[in-house]
């Protein structure tokens, strides 16, 4: 079931019948196939029969709400758990958005719905997922439908993970890697690994072949590949492993200096007693920002930043910036999918030295 021009199949869920009809009409006129559901339970029934390319779901619904439906879809695993999930909400509440991001939501649309924005969002999300195959392509024992938690754990990692083989076929891309690839436009084209140009492609192919041929004897093999824009490069670490009953696989751990594996602000608050602002400043510092840039980003004075830095050093036991950065990188980290933009930092604990 696809739109007339093959654009994709959208599952729309909303308990407001009129809005649901309007959503479906706009999508159909744009060439998409549409399935409608007015409750979370009805949506789950539909998902047992079809595999939509994107799910558009209201948050506030009687019975099973949008957050609960998202949890159920992710927990079920399979192809539908990899479909982009876009929430519709009448309340652009910070806490609600944070909760949805933590559960795995890909985007938000605020009511009343701007249909041009909705169509642009749907088009963009569908274009992004065509860069990599769905997670059900993983031919591994622990990827069975009764073990969806294995995939969920990989999505929590604060390092990008791509599972591939010597033929460059991509079998899995975790959440962190998807974010890196989306930002850089690098490495995956139509379900296969691909570098920026012919020369880099040959280098990538030789690297994968060498890892596959040497097997466990090769250990971990590093590679640096430039992004298509030439502005930065990605660091790759390839590790071979054997999946029972299948040819050798290769796990690629993906690093991007613009997405360092830092802990969440909440982690720093729990471990060291940092306030929300102190935690944010510490993370910005570890990301390479200078104190002056941090002051500008947070809309505070340099004196305020210096005050918070003194508190951070005292609470963490660091005696200099390099030590502090080392402490932060040593903290446990998970995917930053739910990290907050700078503008939303809680500033109620400013020292008042503006």
Distance CA 101, CA 267 (A): 17
110 and 198 in one domain? Answer: no
Evaluate whether residue 315 is within a structural domain: yes
pLDDT of the residue at 101? 67
Residue 11 C-alpha from the chain's centroid: 21
- Among 221, 255, 289, which residue terminates a domain? 255
pLDDT tens, N- to C-terminus, the chain (354 residues)? 444 445 789 999 999 999 999 999 999 999 999 999 999 999 999 998 888 999 999 998 999 999 899 888 877 766 677 788 999 987 656 666 666 666 667 788 888 899 999 999 898 888 766 655 443 333 444 344 444 566 667 778 888 888 888 778 787 888 888 878 877 766 776 667 878 777 888 888 888 888 887 765 656 789 888 877 666 788 889 988 765 545 567 889 988 777 777 888 898 999 999 999 999 999 999 888 899 999 999 999 999 999 999 999 999 999 888 889 888 888 888 765 433 333 333 333 333 333
125 and 153 in one domain? Answer: no
**Structural domain range at position 63:** 9-129
97 and 23 in one domain? Answer: yes
State in Å, rounded, how far the first CA of the chain is from the last one. Answer: 60
Structural tokens at position 234: 């990605």
Evaluate whether residue 206 is within a structural domain: yes
Evaluate whether residue 1 is within a structural domain: no
For residue 338, what is the DSSP state?
A: G
| Each residue's pLDDT tens digit, 3-61 | 444 578 999 999 999 999 999 999 999 999 999 999 999 999 999 888 899 999 999 89
Q: What is the CATH number of the domain that holds 98?
A: 3.40.50.2300
- Among 67, 98, 129, which residue terminates a domain? 129
Evaluate whether residue 352 is within a structural domain: no
Evaluate whether residue 354 is within a structural domain: no
Residue 269 class from Cβ within 10 Å (0-12 exposed, 13-18 middle, 19+ buried)?
middle
Evaluate whether residue 314 is within a structural domain: yes
Distance CA 133, CA 126 (A): 12
Report the share of the chain in percent with pLDDT over 90: 29
Domain count along the chain: 3
**Cross-strand pairs, 12:** 36, 56
pTM metric for this prediction: 0.50
| Each residue's pLDDT tens digit, 55-86 | 999 998 999 999 899 888 877 766 677 788 99
Distance CA 82, CA 73 (A): 9
Query: Which is nearest to 298 in space by CA: 338, 346, 337, 352?
Result: 346
Residues 75, 80, 86, 91, CA torsion sign: negative
Evaluate whether residue 351 is within a structural domain: no
Evaluate whether residue 103 is within a structural domain: yes
Three-state SS letters, 222-277: EEEEECCCCCCEEEEEEEEEECCCCCEEEEEEEECCCCCCCCCHHHHHHHHCCCHH
Q: What is the CATH number of the domain that holds 315?
A: 1.10.10.10
Residues 228, 231, 233, 234, CA torsion sign: negative
């Amino acid at each position: 079931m696809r739109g007339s021009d093959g654009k994709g199949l959208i599952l729309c869920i909303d308990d407001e019948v009129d809005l649901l009809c309007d959503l479906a009409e706009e999508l159909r006129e744009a060439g998409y196939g549409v399935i409608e559901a007015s409750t979370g339970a009805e949506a789950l029934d539909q998902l047992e029969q079809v595999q939509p390319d994107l799910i558009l779901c209201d948050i506030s619904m009687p019975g099973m709400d949008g957050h609960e439906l998202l949890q159920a879809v992710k927990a079920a695993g399979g192809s539908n758990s990899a479909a982009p999930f876009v929430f519709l909400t009448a309340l652009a509440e910070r806490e609600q958005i944070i909760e949805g991001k933590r559960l795995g939501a890909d985007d938000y649309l605020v009511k009343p719905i701007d249909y041009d924005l909705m169509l642009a969002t749907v088009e963009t999300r569908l274009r992004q997922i065509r860069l990599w195959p769905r997670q059900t392509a993983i031919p591994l024992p622990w990827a069975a439908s009764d073990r969806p938690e294995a995939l969920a754990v990989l999505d929590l990692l604060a390092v990008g993970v791509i599972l591939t083989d010597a033929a460059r076929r991509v079998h899995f891309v975790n959440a962190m890697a998807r974010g890196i690839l989306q930002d850089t436009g690098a490495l995956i084209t139509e379900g296969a690994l691909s570098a920026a140009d012919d020369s880099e492609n040959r280098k990538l192919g030789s690297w994968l072949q060498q890892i596959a041929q040497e097997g466990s004897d090769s250990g971990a093999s590093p590679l640096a590949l430039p992004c298509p824009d030439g502005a930065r490069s990605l660091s790759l670490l390839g590790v071979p492993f054997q999946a029972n009953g299948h040819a050798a696989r290769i796990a690629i751990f993906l690093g991007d200096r613009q997405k360092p594996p830092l802990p969440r602000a909440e982690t720093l608050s729990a471990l060291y007693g940092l306030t929300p602002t102190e935690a944010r400043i510490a993370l910005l510092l570890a990301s390479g920002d200078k104190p002056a840039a941090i002051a500008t980003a947070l809309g505070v004075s340099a004196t305020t930043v210096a005050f918070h830095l003194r508190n951070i050093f005292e609470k963490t036991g660091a005696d200099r910036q390099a030590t502090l950065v080392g402490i932060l990188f040593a903290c446990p980290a998970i995917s930053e999918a739910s990290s907050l933009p700078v503008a939303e930092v809680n500033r109620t604990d400013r020292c008042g030295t503006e």
